[in-house]
Structures are given as C-alpha cells and as structure tokens.
Amino acid sequence: MDSPIGYHEAKALLEWQVELGVDEAIGETPINRYELDAAPPKPKPAPAPEPETTPVAAHDPVAAAKSAAAAATNLDALQGALAAYEFCDLKRGARSLVFADGNPAARVMVIGEAPGRDEDLQGKPFVGRAGQLLDRMLDCIGLARTTPGAEHAVYITNILPWRPPQNRDPKPEEIAMMLPFVQRHVELAAPDVLVLMGNVSCLAMLGRKGITRLRGNWQDVLGRPALPMFHPAYLLRNPHAKREAWHDLLMLQARLRGL
C-alpha cells in the first residue's frame, strides 16, 4: 500500500490548484454549471437603514421642560404641559398635580416649595396648617387668594407641582426640571411682585439659599422685584421668627403701595 502524501507535498499541490483558479472543493453531489449560469444573479441585500436621530429633548429632561414650557401660550396650556411631562418620577407617586390657586391676575405671586399631604389630597397649594397661617398673614396687609379684584388678590404656586415622598426636600435635579415651568408661569401670570417662600424657592429662583440671610432683602427675579420670606411651616416650628415675618409683610405692603 502506498504511503500517504506528506504535509509538504499536500501543501504544494493545494497551492498549485489555487494558482490554476480553483476556488471551491468538489462535493459528493454533481453540479450542473449550465443551470447555475442561467440563473439570475441574487439581488444584493438592501442596505440597513440608518438609525433615526432621537431629539436631544428625549434624553434631556431639562431641555424637554424648556421646550414644553415655551410652547405654552396661556396658563391652561402650561398646566396641560406639566400634566403631560413624564420625566419627573414624583408624578408617579403623587395623587394630584398641584398647579396654582388664587387669582392669576393678582399683583402678588407667592412661590412656595412643594405640596404636602393636604395639598396633594386637595390639588391646591398651601391648604394645610402652613397655608392657613399664610392666609392669616396676607389678610393682615389686606391680601387674599379669594379676592376677585386683582389689586388685593394673591396668586400662589410652588416650585414642584407634585408632592415628594415623605415631604422630603426636593432634589436638585427635580428643581432643575421644574424651573422652566415656574419661569414660564411667572411670565404668563405677569405679577408686579414675587414672594419667595422658603429656602427651596430661593435656591430655584435666586440660585442660592440661606433664608435667614435672604429674607427681608429685595431681589430681582425675571425682571420683577422679589421678596424672600420665611415659609409658614418654618414659622409654625419657630414662632419667635414671626416678628421678622411681620416686618417682611410690611415691606411687601409698602412696595405695593409704591408701585
């Protein structure tokens, strides 16, 4: 029996066949080359479609908020834009969207922090104990949220429209998402004066907090005079601060008389 071909001989034979143009091995089943030549060429696969470009706003909650807020031409549209906004997880755990209360034509717009339990249940800002105290404070200088006339009316909203779990402080990213809506809210309501109630409101609208230092000092926010004040909830915990709050209310009253 002949000895098998060695490695080098087999390699040389294979290279020789490649040089002759051999490009496939011979199979066990015969192939009719005439039929292959007559067959139409296979169509080339269509190129894969390019991935669609997703708008930046779909990945950027703040950009989405700016776009939605800017598109709102009135307060009803702004409330609808907030209701349709899906990037804030607070929405999923809250019962109500707390948009605003009072007279939108009021000269004074109060901006609080976030809804609490009572606000979440009723869908209105400042309706719990802190809200009741706020109403008494405003009444002392002739203002009320229920007054139909704009001269002595108040319009009230919050930085966040949804209640944070366990009434925790809002997170920076939550404030950043809601800020475009608040800014548009101020532009549409167009009050003469803003009142920033508490640290969260000051942080959002002024970029800094420290209410004990900021209160009683007029600031400029969106081209309007803004007065930082103690939040009524703080006054409930610290009754000794009511003297400073009364001083700030008198400042607000004097400013309104001078405008």
**What is the 3-class SS of 173-208, one letter each residue?**
HHHHHHHHHHHHHHHHHCCCEEEEECHHHHHHHHCC
What pLDDT does 219 receive?
97
Q: Which two tokens stand for residue 93?
A: 């755990």
Q: Percent of the chain having pLDDT more than 90?
A: 75
* E strands present in 56-180: 101-102, 108-112, 154-158
- State how far the alpha carbon of 39 is from the alpha carbons of 8, 24, 36, 48, 110, in Å: 40, 19, 5, 26, 80
Give the chain's mean pLDDT: 88
Minimal CA–CA distance to 246: which of 140, 153, 167? 140
Domain 59-258 has CATH 3.40.50.720: no
> What are the residue ranges spanned by the domains of the chain?
59-258
Q: Token match 């139409």: residue?
A: 40
Instruction: Enter the DSSP assignment of 211.
Output: H
Instruction: For the chain, state the CA radius of gyration.
Output: 35
pLDDT band at 9 (very low <50, low <70, confident <90, very high): confident
Q: pTM for this one? A: 0.77
pLDDT band at 55 (very low <50, low <70, confident <90, very high): low
